[in-house]
């Protein structure tokens, strides 16, 4: 059996900046790799998480020219944690502006994981002519049943101790609708109330996305600045069902069937359970599908990372 592939070495951007996209938003972007390499765009999760330095290492730097950016309101984009003019369709338009105004390319490989897979599907289904290839990980279609599983009850059966901490900011009388109850607190005028809710929301996710405990995720997700943007923006999107029609992303997958693609999913993914990936696989059978037997949700779990690196390497040779 061949050894598992691992990430490429850490790399710094060769260019970076902010792009004004309207509505008071400025999007942070960076370019890494070979300026003459195969163009690609990386779409981070959350929404609200920002692009981490580790995402740069998913592409061969000698062969790829990769654009990474922080979506509206998070990471190094400004204004921080803003919910104004912040929807899926604003982000789809931002991606197109980045393609034309920063990269200046006709087509590029589209890579997205978790919420990034949702955004990648929304973007590619809107602009299929712009996607040369697609790589998806931890498939999330933002359907009601998926949101209820992770934020209302289902996942609590596996993590009752962590669930108890997630429930703590919400009075018992409001626990019948946790996403809405969190919304009230995350947009509160009281900064202490906002921050308490943000920490609890973010830590719930940070401590349940890997198959085995990972202290690095716990630390990252519990930081005040990260948690505030992450929780506010993520909750804002989920209150509005991702600004999508129910089932839209899988329904419209037929628009992508001509595009070479790879789907990677962890069998024990609690955040975005495997059934969604399986349903996308059935709707899009031409895409290569890898169900990793010993993995949860995070991109850097060994089996998931192996298939992601294999995919980007293979597409670099096309």
Residues 301 and 163 in one domain: no
310 prior amide bond cis, ω within 30: no
Residues 193 and 170 in one domain: yes
> Closest Cα to residue 67, out of 130, 24, 5?
130
Q: Is residue 1 pLDDT above 60, yes or no?
A: no
Cα separation of 306 and 32, whole Å?
Answer: 21
Summarize pLDDT for 257-311 with one digit per residue, the tens: 999 999 999 999 999 999 999 999 999 999 999 999 999 999 999 999 999 999 9
Query: Span 38-55, mean pLDDT?
Result: 97
The per-residue pLDDT for 217 is: 80
Q: Is residue 62 pLDDT above 80, yes or no?
A: yes
Residues 153 and 193 in one domain: yes
Higher-scoring residue by pLDDT: 154, 172: 172
Cα separation of 191 and 187, whole Å?
Answer: 9
Answer whether residue 3 is part of any domain. Answer: no
Q: Is 94 exposed, middle or buried (0-12, 13-18, 19+ CB in 10 A)?
A: buried
Q: What percent of the chain is predicted at pLDDT more than 70?
A: 100
Q: What is the CATH number of the domain that holds 68?
A: 3.40.50.1820
Model pTM greater than 0.85?
A: yes
Domain boundary among 241, 261, 292: 241
Q: Is residue 151 pLDDT above 70, yes or no?
A: yes
Instruction: Give the domain range for residue 204.
Output: 145-241
Q: Is residue 156 pLDDT above 80, yes or no?
A: yes
47 prior amide bond cis, ω within 30: yes
The per-residue pLDDT for 216 is: 82
Name the residues annotated as catalytic. Answer: 114, 269, 297
Summarize pLDDT for 196-250 with one digit per residue, the tens: 999 999 999 999 999 888 888 878 887 999 999 999 999 999 999 999 999 999 9
Q: What percent of the chain is predicted at pLDDT more than 90?
A: 94
Residues 135 and 269 in one domain: yes
Three-class secondary structure of residue 285 per DSSP = coil
Answer whether residue 7 is part of any domain. Answer: no
DSSP structure string for 188-227: -S-HHHHHHHHHHHHHHHHTTSSSS--HHHHHHHHSHHHH
Residues 23 and 70 in one domain: yes
Summarize pLDDT for 161-173 with one digit per residue, the tens: 999 999 999 999 9
Answer whether residue 1 is part of any domain. Answer: no
Residues 66 and 128 in one domain: yes
Contacts of residue 56, defined as CB under 8 A and 6 or more positions apart, other chains included, come to 10, 11, 13, 32, 66, 68
The per-residue pLDDT for 214 is: 85
Query: Span 114-143, mean pLDDT?
Result: 98
Residues 187 and 308 in one domain: no
Answer whether residue 73 is part of any domain. Answer: yes
Residue 9 DSSP one-character state: P
Cα separation of 221 and 215, whole Å?
Answer: 10
The number of domains in the chain is 2
Q: Which two tokens stand for residue 117?
A: 């897979």
The torsion angles phi and psi of 263, rounded to 5 degrees, stand at -115, 125
Residues 28 and 138 in one domain: yes
Q: What is the mean pLDDT of the chain?
A: 97
């Amino acid at each position: 059996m061949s050894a598992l592939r691992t990430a490429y070495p850490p790399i710094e951007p060769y260019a970076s900046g902010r792009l004004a996209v309207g509505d008071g938003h400025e999007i942070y972007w960076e370019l890494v790799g070979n300026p003459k390499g195969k163009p690609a765009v990386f779409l981070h999760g959350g929404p609200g998480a920002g692009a981490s330095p580790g995402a740069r290492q998913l592409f061969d730097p000698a062969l790829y020219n990769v654009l990474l950016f922080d979506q509206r309101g998070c990471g190094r984009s400004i204004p921080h944690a803003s919910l104004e003019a912040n929807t899926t369709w604003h982000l789809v338009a931002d991606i197109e502006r980045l393609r034309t105004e920063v990269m200046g390319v006709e087509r590029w490989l589209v890579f997205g994981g978790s919420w990034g897979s949702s955004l990648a599907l929304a973007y590619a289904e809107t602009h299929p002519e712009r996607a040369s290839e697609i790589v998806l990980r931890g498939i999330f279609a933002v359907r009601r049943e998926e949101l209820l599983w992770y934020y209302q009850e289902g996942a609590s059966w596996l993590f009752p101790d962590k669930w108890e901490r997630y429930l703590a900011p919400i009075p018992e009388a409001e626990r019948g609708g946790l996403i809405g109850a969190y919304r009230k607190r995350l947009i509160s005028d009281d900064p202490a109330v906002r921050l308490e809710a943000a920490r609890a929301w973010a830590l719930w996710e940070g401590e349940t996305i890997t198959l085995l405990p990972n202290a690095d995720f716990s630390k990252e997700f519990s930081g005040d600045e990260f948690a505030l943007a992450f929780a506010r923006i993520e909750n804002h999107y989920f209150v509005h069902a991702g600004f999508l029609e129910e089932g839209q992303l899988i329904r419209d997958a037929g628009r992508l069937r001509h595009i070479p693609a790879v789907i990677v999913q962890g069998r024990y993914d609690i955040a975005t359970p495997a059934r969604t990936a399986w349903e996308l696989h059935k709707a899009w059978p031409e895409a290569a599908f890898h169900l990793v037997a010993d993995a949860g949700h995070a991109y850097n779990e060994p089996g998931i990372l192996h298939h992601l690196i294999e995919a980007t390497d293979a597409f670099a040779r096309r």
